Chain A
Amino acid sequence: MKTIIVVGNGMVGYKFCEKFVAASVNEEFKVIVFGEEPRPAYDRVHLSEFFENQDAKALEMAPAEWYKENKIDLIVDERVSDIQRTTKTIITAKNRVFNYDYLVLATGSSAFVPPIKGVEKEGVFVYRTIEDLEGMLAYAANLKEKNPNARAAVLGGGLLGLEAGKAVMDMGLEPHIIEFAPKLMPRQLDARSSKVLQLKLESIGLNIHLSKATNQILGDDAITGMEFGEDDVLDVEILVVSAGIRPRDELGKTCGLEMGVRGGIVVDNKMKTSDENIFAIGEVALYNQMIYGLVAPGYDMAGVAVNQIIGNTEELMPAEIDMSTKLKLIGVDVASFGEPFMPVSKGHSVIFENKTQHLYKRINVSLDGKSLLGGILVGDASDYNMLHQVFLNGMAIPEDAAQLILPATEGGAFGSALDLPDEAQICSCENVSKGQICGAIKDGSCEDLAGVIASTKASTSCGGCKPMVTDLVNETLKSLGKTVKNVICEHFEYSRQELYGIIKAKKLTSFNEVLDAAGTGHGCETCKPLVSSIFASLYNDTPNKEDVTQDTNDKFLANIQRNGTYSVVPRIAGGELTPEDLIVLGQIGSKYNLYTKITGGARIDFFGAELNDLPAIWTELIDAGFESGHAYGKSLRTVKSCVGSTWCRYGLDESITFAIELENRYKGLRSPHKIKGGVSGCIRECAEARGKDFGIIAVEGGWNLYVGGNGGATPRHAQLLAEKIDNETVIKYLDRYLIYYIQTAAPLMRTAAWLDKLEGGIEQLKKVVIEDSLHIVEDLEKEMQFLVDAYECEWKQAIANEETKKRFHHFVNSDDRDDNLVFVPLRDQKMPELWKN
């Protein structure tokens, strides 16, 4: 058995292990991997996500157990300090010695810190590892305590620099980007696209300083500012250096491998260094006189090295490496491919620019106008995948190349993704071709997108190619005559919309009836709540009617929380309540020892109610005039309002009164997903109405009605449906829109996603709701009026009936409570103890 030692456990070092495992030669080789950081390899490309959740685990490439399962020895927190080539051994910083047959150097790179005077001062960081980020977070938190308006600078306006800029902005610091070159992302963008990107970034709060050379860092011990020229100083209290990378090549240097003039370990197209038994891959390797600072070429290098070592010597590193990139930078699409800056002698450029929308697109076309040589996209890179494929495969382009980048035309300029040649590389990170993706469906080994992703690994790395993979899978399925159908679950071969129609036509009223009439088996946690939701939308059945088919929150008319206790939210329509109401709420919260909080929807939420107490709590709330706020249901939650013309000196209309009217009209309305509304009394939008499923804003002459906002995990602004309409028209359009959504959306599909999928989008919705193109508005309005009239408070129902009340006992044979519950103190209130696992 031969020993392979991998030095470095970054993304590329990990990829070497993964490709090695895939080669299934574990019996012949022993692999030992060294990482100097304290944790296994993580996704450095998405490092900035660490700021959002501070969850290092989420970035892991594979857990430590993965190495164990695959018989790879992973040694973390231990640096390899020396290589003895004559004895084929390595020595670690802990003075341990290991023998190798093959050595793979994947030591990557470190952040380059330019030799500026004072750069060693406290408060200067680099942006490279999770530890760097943790250090930065701690320092920033400390700064903010002393000075809430502290400023941060980032040295470097490249890819990583801009990411770092976003990171310091998220920390609540005032962000400044300092770039030496006269443009941002100098390697990827031309001057005009840089300008467009700059305008966009400035609009979201980044301060950009171009053509700035830093003379020195000011401050005694800690940084207080940066000096660029004599009278040119910027006061900052923290500095993040992101001025490029330097290969971590010191091991290569000390053991005498051939090195590049400016660093990097020289490798050939087999990834071999000047020593037969030593390979170098990733950002430490100098290939073609270049250090490739992207993850895709590093992954390819890892694959070549694995193949060389296990004896499959045919695969070599190609002479030309594609450096195209697409990324979402601070929410802005930026992409560049092929030759972004093309000399005039080689072809022509076609440029589309729209500064008001922060859009810039440039493509470079060969002199004969037949092929695409490269390009730049800023603001909207949705065409990147296709353009990139056209470039890579040398495909023919339309006679009028401008069509490739002009705002979308009917059907698009491209045709079908299936037109690509089979060899077209769709996923560059994992090197998966169109042929492999479509083949996996055609040969029957995969049935759907999830299967293709699992078997080919396409789009499992950066995910940039996912839309294209999805298209290919769907198109291939269609070409095979298979319909891409959204069935509910194994019990119903129908979509939600179809089942809605069946239940309505056959007037079915219980889950068992529906199952017997249209399904098979005995139902499950997916179809039962769905059928219940359809009953509610059709007949306004409350969850009390058939509680065993309700999702857990509906079943108990309260939201189940982390430890199995419940939260209780009474309706506070429009967020308006009297001081007397507040006193009652306070008394109830205090009596039942409930944690109390104002929710994001302007209501009051009680937490920690035990099952046995729910009926008593509701009784007291109902006695005080409250009713259920339906916080548990896939139903209308709240209609938030600002104070409107009632109190506000800017208010144009009575937003509170109208919000209360709308909330009371739609309360209890069951829908495919929860829905929220907002009413703002003027365009200052204090109710955030455009972030809601429906929102109205008072303007001169009436209300503007917006729909389809609140995308959940994918935030979305609502779109304008109608302008300057009166109260009555608002209600009419809302009735129609809401019922149309309820009848046609997929399960758990928010209005934003529904509107996206609606063919024709908002224009089509206007036709249906306003112009009545389908001749259904009368029915839609009637159905809504029926639901409005049939409303009943389900808390009141539940406590009125002894039989219904029975479900609110923890035990069926005892009045005891759940003795497994443990609460711990939290800021003068309580919370459940942390999860045990």
Chain B
Amino acid sequence: MDTLLLKYKTVKEAEVKVWFKAAPVSAFPKDGGACVKYKDLQIAVFNFSRLDKWYACQNLSPEKQEMVLSRGMLGDHKGIPKIACPLHKKTFSLETGENLNADLAPIAVYPIKIEAENVYIGFSE
């Protein structure tokens, strides 16, 4: 089943080949998340409005491999923006994908940009 996890790899802004137009800004809750479908990937997108920043990461929880991260709660740990998995509250940095409260593998994070009130996620292929 690890093949599912392998589908998700962090993309750096410089590697972006495709900017996928996900949905209008208004489709995403403020200070919350929603899930975007891109090909066979599920990407969690967060509007961290308190920071005036947007984040994207895999929707797949690496702990139990369920598609739930977009339904987690946003927050910060010592200033690092993070998402808490709704299943068992494992938390991940939205900047780097690093697991902040256990020793799980990092999650994949993706670049995101807002243009003309639309949300775009960057993919490398």
- Once A521-B79, A818-B42 are accepted as A-B contacts, the answer to whether A548 and B51 lie under 8 Å apart by CB is no
Confirm or deny: A512 has a beta carbon within 8 angstroms of a beta carbon on chain B.
yes
Q: In the complex the two chains form, is A813's CB within 8 Å of B23's CB?
A: yes
- Once A549-B73, A560-B68, A564-B66 are accepted as A-B contacts, the answer to whether A522 and B86 lie under 8 Å apart by CB is no
Q: In the complex the two chains form, is A552's CB within 8 Å of B72's CB?
A: yes
- Once A522-B51, A564-B68, A813-B37 are accepted as A-B contacts, the answer to whether A552 and B27 lie under 8 Å apart by CB is no
Confirm or deny: A647 has a beta carbon within 8 angstroms of a beta carbon on chain B.
no
Chain B: interface residue count, which band?
A: 35 or more
Within the complex, the shortest CB–CB distance from B122 to chain A, in Å, comes to 16
Q: In the complex the two chains form, is A837's CB within 8 Å of B36's CB?
A: no
- Once A524-B77, A564-B66 are accepted as A-B contacts, the answer to whether A548 and B35 lie under 8 Å apart by CB is no
Most buried by A among B23, B27, B32: B32
- Once A512-B50, A812-B22 are accepted as A-B contacts, the answer to whether A548 and B66 lie under 8 Å apart by CB is no
Confirm or deny: A810 has a beta carbon within 8 angstroms of a beta carbon on chain B.
yes
Q: In the complex the two chains form, is B64's CB within 8 Å of A836's CB?
A: yes
Confirm or deny: B12 has a beta carbon within 8 angstroms of a beta carbon on chain A.
no
Contact of B35 among A547, A549, A811, A836 (CB under 8 A): A811
Residues facing A in B38-55 (CB within 8 A) are 42, 45, 48, 50-51
Confirm or deny: B11 has a beta carbon within 8 angstroms of a beta carbon on chain A.
no
Confirm or deny: B84 has a beta carbon within 8 angstroms of a beta carbon on chain A.
yes
1/0 per residue, CB under 8 A from B, across A821-836: the answer is 0000000000000011
Closest to A820 in B: B67
Confirm or deny: A370 has a beta carbon within 8 angstroms of a beta carbon on chain B.
no
Confirm or deny: A556 has a beta carbon within 8 angstroms of a beta carbon on chain B.
yes
Confirm or deny: A496 has a beta carbon within 8 angstroms of a beta carbon on chain B.
no
Q: In the complex the two chains form, is B91's CB within 8 Å of A525's CB?
A: yes
Confirm or deny: A551 has a beta carbon within 8 angstroms of a beta carbon on chain B.
yes
A90 CA to B30 CA, complexed, in Å: 69
Q: In the complex the two chains form, is A811's CB within 8 Å of B36's CB?
A: yes
Contact of B89 among A525, A549, A564, A806 (CB under 8 A): A525
Contact of A555 among B51, B60, B71, B82 (CB under 8 A): B71
Q: In the complex the two chains form, is B86's CB within 8 Å of A812's CB?
A: no
A408 CA to B74 CA, complexed, in Å: 48
A700 CA to B91 CA, complexed, in Å: 55
Q: In the complex the two chains form, is A812's CB within 8 Å of B34's CB?
A: yes
A393 CA to B32 CA, complexed, in Å: 59
- Once A812-B28, A820-B42, A836-B1 are accepted as A-B contacts, the answer to whether A556 and B36 lie under 8 Å apart by CB is no
Chain A: interface residue count, which band?
A: 20 to 34
**Inter-chain contacts of A547 with B (CB < 8 A):** 29, 32
Contact of B45 among A521, A524, A556, A812 (CB under 8 A): A812
Contact of A548 among B65, B73, B87 (CB under 8 A): B73
- Once A548-B32, A564-B66 are accepted as A-B contacts, the answer to whether A490 and B78 lie under 8 Å apart by CB is yes
Contact of B74 among A512, A548, A552, A811 (CB under 8 A): A548
Confirm or deny: A814 has a beta carbon within 8 angstroms of a beta carbon on chain B.
yes
A169 CA to B73 CA, complexed, in Å: 45
**Inter-chain contacts of A219 with B (CB < 8 A):** none
**Inter-chain contacts of B30 with A (CB < 8 A):** 548
Closest to B4 in A: A820
1/0 per residue, CB under 8 A from B, across A468-508: the answer is 00000000000000000000001000000000000000000
A560 CA to B67 CA, complexed, in Å: 12
Confirm or deny: B106 has a beta carbon within 8 angstroms of a beta carbon on chain A.
no
Residues facing B in A88-124 (CB within 8 A) are none
A811 CA to B27 CA, complexed, in Å: 10
Q: In the complex the two chains form, is B84's CB within 8 Å of A524's CB?
A: yes
A813 CA to B28 CA, complexed, in Å: 10
Q: In the complex the two chains form, is B86's CB within 8 Å of A552's CB?
A: yes
Contact of B65 among A490, A529, A552, A836 (CB under 8 A): A836
**Inter-chain contacts of A820 with B (CB < 8 A):** 4, 42, 60, 65-67
A813 CA to B70 CA, complexed, in Å: 13
Within the complex, the shortest CB–CB distance from B121 to chain A, in Å, comes to 10
**Inter-chain contacts of A560 with B (CB < 8 A):** 68, 71, 86-87
Confirm or deny: A194 has a beta carbon within 8 angstroms of a beta carbon on chain B.
no
Q: In the complex the two chains form, is B50's CB within 8 Å of A522's CB?
A: yes
- Once A522-B51, A563-B66, A564-B66 are accepted as A-B contacts, the answer to whether A490 and B37 lie under 8 Å apart by CB is no
1/0 per residue, CB under 8 A from B, across A574-616: the answer is 0000000000000000000000000000000000000000000
Q: In the complex the two chains form, is A552's CB within 8 Å of B73's CB?
A: yes
**Inter-chain contacts of B60 with A (CB < 8 A):** 820
1/0 per residue, CB under 8 A from A, across B51-63: the answer is 1000000001001
Q: In the complex the two chains form, is B64's CB within 8 Å of A521's CB?
A: no
The contact sample of 24 A-B pairs, CB cut-off 8 A, is: A490-B78, A522-B48, A523-B74, A524-B73, A525-B72, A528-B73, A547-B29, A552-B71, A562-B64, A564-B68, A564-B87, A806-B27, A807-B29, A807-B34, A810-B67, A811-B34, A812-B27, A812-B28, A820-B42, A835-B64, A836-B1, A836-B64, A837-B63, A837-B65
* 6 closest residue pairs by CB, A with B: A524-B75, A548-B32, A552-B86, A525-B84, A812-B34, A836-B1
